[in-house]
Amino acid sequence: MTDQLTAVTRRLPALPDPVLSGLVVVLLLFNALLTLVVEVLFLPLYIGSVPMPISALLAAPINVALVYGMESVTGRLGFAFAPIVVWVFGFLVCASRGPGGDILLGSDGRTLLLLACGVIPPVAYLYYRSNANLFRTR
């Protein structure tokens, strides 16, 4: 039973230096914005005449990896959600009008797919991690 518990709660080794940990946190938050920019720019991708929102589908594993990385560095489950908060803030900025009236994200299904794929999988992962003891079979 204890081996199963340690297998579920085992993460990457903690960084010994708090300055290095803080730098990794800042890089993960910056990476959340950087990946959002790439996802938004490649969202209107077409192959022939067919829209292919591949970047929306890639948002799910990327954001889960960001949350996993943050959880490995901080050790606090609540703070592990910080990259997704930064990602959603950037999403809202991209969805609003710019100074010239330009909008990066249109009002269509691809934008909704990007939002759903960017938020739902990391939330589901954090929900699973916070309730890992409930999902374990005996």
Query: Of the ranges 21-30, 51-60, 65-74, 125-134, which one carries the lowest mean pLDDT score?
Result: 125-134
Token pair belonging to 130: 């916070």
Averaged confidence pLDDT in the chain? 84
Length of the chain: 138
d(CA 96, CA 102): 8
Instruction: Using pLDDT thresholds of 50, 70 and 90, give the confidence band for residue 119.
Output: very high
Summarize pLDDT for 89-117 with one digit per residue, the tens. Answer: 999 999 888 788 888 888 888 999 999 99
Q: Residue 51: phi, psi to the nearest 5?
A: -70, 135
Neighbour-count burial for 117-126, b at 16+ CB within 10 Å, e otherwise? bbbebbeebb
Please report, rounded to a whole number, the percentage of residues in the chain having pLDDT higher than 90.
Answer: 44
d(CA 41, CA 18): 35
